[in-house]
Amino acid sequence: MSATLRSLYPANPATARAQSTKLSSDAQGTTLSYAAGRTAIVRPLPNSPSSSAAKVKSAISYAEHSQPTTVARISPSGYYCASADAGGNVRIWDLVGGEQILKSEVRVVAGRLNDLCWDGENARMIAVGNGREFFGRAFLVDTGSSAGEISGHSKPLNAVALKPQRPFRAVTASDDNTLVFYHGVPFKYNLTLTTHSRFVQDVKYAPNGERFVSVGSDGKCFVYDGKSGEMLFELMGEGGNAHAGTIFAVDFAQDSKRIVTASADGTVKVWDLDAKALLSSFDFNGKNDLGSQAGGGGGATVDQQVGVTWLSGAEGFASVSLGGEINIVSGVSQGVSGAKMSKLHGACASITSLVKSSSSGGALLAGTFDGRVLAYDAQGNASLVQGPRHVSAVSALVLGPDNSIVSIGMDETLRVIGSDGVYASSPSVGTTGYPKFLSAGAGGEGGAVFVGTTTGIDIFTSLPSSANKTHVPQKYTISSIAAAAAQNTLAVGAEDGKVYVYSYGGGSKLDEVKQLVRQATISALAFSVDGTLLAVGEGNGKITVYNTADWSVKTSAWTFHTARVQTIQFSPDGTHAISGSLDTHVYVWSVAKPMKRIQVAKAHANGVTAVCWLDDSSFASAGADACIKVWDVKKHA
């Protein structure tokens, strides 16, 4: 058997209030790079005019950092990517090979790195952030040896920019409201610029090196001479400042004559530096897809634009909102009315559950820790499920009656996504206690849905049109739950290491028929489609499969996980099963030949949280890295 990665559905950027999100692109403007959790994401833009020239043909998730990543930037040549993390490390890795081979790793500061920048020769780099003794370092890419000294600041650095051509220059931006200008190489202090009155959030050099631009929390944007560091002029808007709020990010167009700025006022503006004038302003306030529960509407904080990069291939830009949406705007030279706008959606937090819709189209739905549910089509394009959604983490998703999807969340509610792919306004029913686990029984109108809570089992019937709830209290602490529709059987895993098997007779009638005793907490349960097999996953990494006819052990050989088993699912034909674990691995198991297995090592950073068969020969996996991976499986004969 073997498993091959078919496609990656990448996470969207991880954003934070009052903090710039570093979004960047390659020289052709066909590929985006950014940080997301513990991974660095590099993704080609869909339908880019220059996609044929792109070196990166499919999305990449680099997960070799031991701490959360903060920035990722592609080299000018396009062959390498440098990513930095909260521990002060920079990793430089191969971008175009089949594997992301590490070129070098450099320890920069003893703290978080906020930005890094390549020089135009792909030979030097400056990385800056918040260290204990110093706030940044200039070094050679190949060896990591020093290429100068970063000094002159009294507070953490937010951004750095290097002049692409010789003679080299560098600029750093800081929370001490100043910029420091350096001559190089080696880089050394030249002068301090005190143009801003508040934090300086970002700084960028023009591709031709003639000018650089700085933006800050004072809403101002200044333009400087690229060789001397002299301030040339300030860009002014109608109200005096360039923006009405903090300007988080700035970038140059490839012609070095235009810049694009992104602000907390919810707008992205394109400026002409030669004319010192505003060309166009794109207002994203009230245009998010996050729904009413996220505060959608005019002026919402989720609409703040916290990162931006120019896309030369699209003659436009990409910006990221505080809510995590990536906005793609092309054809900006045609003005606001003529430009084309689109959005890239993806998970911004750990994915907690996966389910394949049974309605037409068969979308793959993913629930996330920030309360969103995303629907992915066959090409991996994501859209947010609309309607009154959960206000906190989605705990689980499951196929419900009549092609519906049932979800539970940490807001202690059960909600229903109809066959139209939209959250229904009703039923929205409260659960008895905090809901953690979910499973569905017999299909059709009135089919039962079981919710494991902190106090017992909630049984919901009459879904999806309404919801009749019955609570069955339990003395044990529930740790997993699974229902077999074919046999009207419910299996409930407990923290005491037992599986309690019940026969469901309708209403609140649960009759205990068996107890299966294991060695550790029952962390995952799954019935085969026909209900003849029950897989029991434990907190110690072991999986045992039982025959449900007599509850004899079918196999206890699935023991290769080294940490808690978090999810199990049988294939539609019942011949194989997949499991995901906190150990970051996915295994594909053979039922007929229990010792035959496929290991998908390091499938997801920080652990695998969900798996889902798409058909008998392919499955999807998701994890704490907020990414979804689709795998093709070649089974044993």
Residue 597 falls inside a structural domain = no
Question: What element of type H or E holds 337?
Answer: helix 335-338
Q: Would you state the pLDDT for residue 146?
A: 97
Q: Kindly list the distances between the CA atom of residue 468 and the CA atoms of 365, 447, 464, 465, in Å, as whole numbers in the listed order.
A: 25, 11, 10, 10
Q: Kindly list the distances between the CA atom of residue 612 and the CA atoms of 205, 356, 381, 579, 621, in Å, as whole numbers in the listed order.
A: 46, 7, 18, 9, 6
Judged against a pLDDT cut of 60, whether residue 292 lies above it is answered with no
- Give the separation between CA 398 and CA 386, rounded to whole angstroms: 17
- Give the separation between CA 605 and CA 602, rounded to whole angstroms: 7
Q: Would you state the pLDDT for residue 530?
A: 93
Closest among 385, 437, 313, 327 to 21, alpha carbons compared? 327
Per-residue pLDDT tens digits for 196-218: 999 999 999 999 999 999 999 99
Q: Kindly list the distances between the CA atom of residue 176 and the CA atoms of 13, 87, 159, in Å, as whole numbers in the listed order.
A: 26, 22, 12
Averaged pLDDT for residues 81-103 = 95
Strands 221-225 and 231-235: antiparallel
Helix, strand, coil shares of the chain as percentages rounded to 5?
A: 5, 50, 45
User: How many Cα atoms are found within 13 Å in the side-chain-facing hemisphere of 327?
Assistant: 28
Residues 445, 301, single domain; the answer is no
User: What's the token pair of residue 492?
Assistant: 């409930």
- Between 373 and 445, whose confidence is greater? 373
Residue 539 falls inside a structural domain = no
Residues 301, 224, single domain; the answer is yes
Q: Would you state the pLDDT for residue 445?
A: 44
Averaged pLDDT for residues 497-518 = 93
Residue 151, helix vs strand vs coil: coil
Chain-centroid distance of CA 216 in Å reads 27
Lowest-pLDDT range of 96-105, 366-375, 585-594: 96-105
Tell me phi and psi for residue 51, to 5 degrees: -65, -25
Judged against a pLDDT cut of 70, whether residue 637 lies above it is answered with no
Chain-centroid distance of CA 479 in Å reads 26
Q: Would you state the pLDDT for residue 1?
A: 72
- Give the separation between CA 623 and CA 584, rounded to whole angstroms: 8
Residues 258, 278, single domain; the answer is yes
Classify burial at 188, counting beta carbons within 10 Å of its beta carbon; exposed 0-12, middle 13-18, buried 19 or more. Answer: middle
Contact 299, 288 (CB under 8 A): no
Contact 181, 171 (CB under 8 A): yes
Contact 589, 574 (CB under 8 A): no
Strands 413-417 and 405-409: antiparallel
Q: Would you state the pLDDT for residue 52?
A: 59
Contact 252, 213 (CB under 8 A): yes
Residues 45, 192, single domain; the answer is yes
Averaged pLDDT for residues 241-245 = 97
- Between 312 and 466, whose confidence is greater? 312
The size of the chain, in residues, is 637
What string of DSSP letters covers 205-262? E-TTSSEEEEEETTS-EEEEETTT--EEEEE--TTSSSSSS-EEEEEE-TTSSEEEEE
Cβ atoms within 10 Å of 296's Cβ, excluding its own:
17
What residues contact residue 16 under an 8 Å CB cut-off, 6+ apart?
Answer: none
Per-residue pLDDT tens digits for 581-615: 999 999 999 999 999 999 999 999 999 999 999 99
User: How many Cα atoms are found within 13 Å in the side-chain-facing hemisphere of 364?
Assistant: 27
Residue 395 falls inside a structural domain = yes
Residue 637, helix vs strand vs coil: coil
Residues 265, 355, single domain; the answer is no
What are the CB-based long-range contacts (under 8 Å, 24+) for 47-55?
A: 48/311, 48/313, 48/314, 49/313, 49/314, 50/312, 50/313, 51/313, 53/28, 53/313, 54/26, 54/28, 54/30, 55/26, 55/31, 55/79, 55/95, 55/96
Residue 40 falls inside a structural domain = yes
Residue 380, helix vs strand vs coil: coil
What single letter denotes the amino acid at residue 391?
A: V
Residues 121, 203, single domain; the answer is yes
Contact 105, 93 (CB under 8 A): no
Contact 328, 343 (CB under 8 A): yes
Cβ atoms within 10 Å of 17's Cβ, excluding its own:
9
Question: What element of type H or E holds 598?
Answer: strand 597-600
Residues 171, 307, single domain; the answer is yes
Contact 42, 33 (CB under 8 A): yes
Q: Tell me which residue range forms the domain holding 435.
A: 348-473
Residues 165, 199, single domain; the answer is yes
Mean pLDDT of the chain: 93
Q: Would you state the pLDDT for residue 96?
A: 87
Q: Would you state the pLDDT for residue 611?
A: 98
Per-residue pLDDT tens digits for 160-205: 999 999 999 999 999 999 999 999 899 999 999 999 999 999 999 9
Q: Would you state the pLDDT for residue 51?
A: 57
Q: Would you state the pLDDT for residue 360?
A: 55
Residues 392, 259, single domain; the answer is no
User: What's the token pair of residue 220?
Assistant: 């101002």
Among 309, 324, 344, the domain boundary falls at 344
Residue 125 falls inside a structural domain = yes
Three-point CA angle 362, 364, 366, nearest 5°:
150
- Give the separation between CA 487 and CA 28, rounded to whole angstroms: 58
Q: Would you state the pLDDT for residue 50?
A: 55
Q: Would you state the pLDDT for residue 428?
A: 84
Chain-centroid distance of CA 70 in Å reads 13
Residue 220 falls inside a structural domain = yes
Number of domains in the chain: 2
Residues 378, 283, single domain; the answer is no
Residues 334, 364, single domain; the answer is no
- Give the CATH number, domain containing residue 267: 2.130.10.10
What single letter denotes the amino acid at residue 311?
A: L
Contact 363, 373 (CB under 8 A): no
Tell me phi and psi for residue 530, to 5 degrees: -85, 0
Residue 493 falls inside a structural domain = no
Per-residue pLDDT tens digits for 422-456: 998 877 899 999 998 999 875 444 578 999 999 99
Closest among 247, 240, 167 to 204, alpha carbons compared? 247
Residue 286 falls inside a structural domain = yes
Residues 334, 469, single domain; the answer is no
What single letter denotes the amino acid at residue 294?
A: A
Judged against a pLDDT cut of 50, whether residue 296 lies above it is answered with no
Among 344, 368, 397, the domain boundary falls at 344
DSSP symbol at 489: E
pTM given for the model: 0.94
Contact 392, 407 (CB under 8 A): no
Among 344, 371, 400, the domain boundary falls at 344
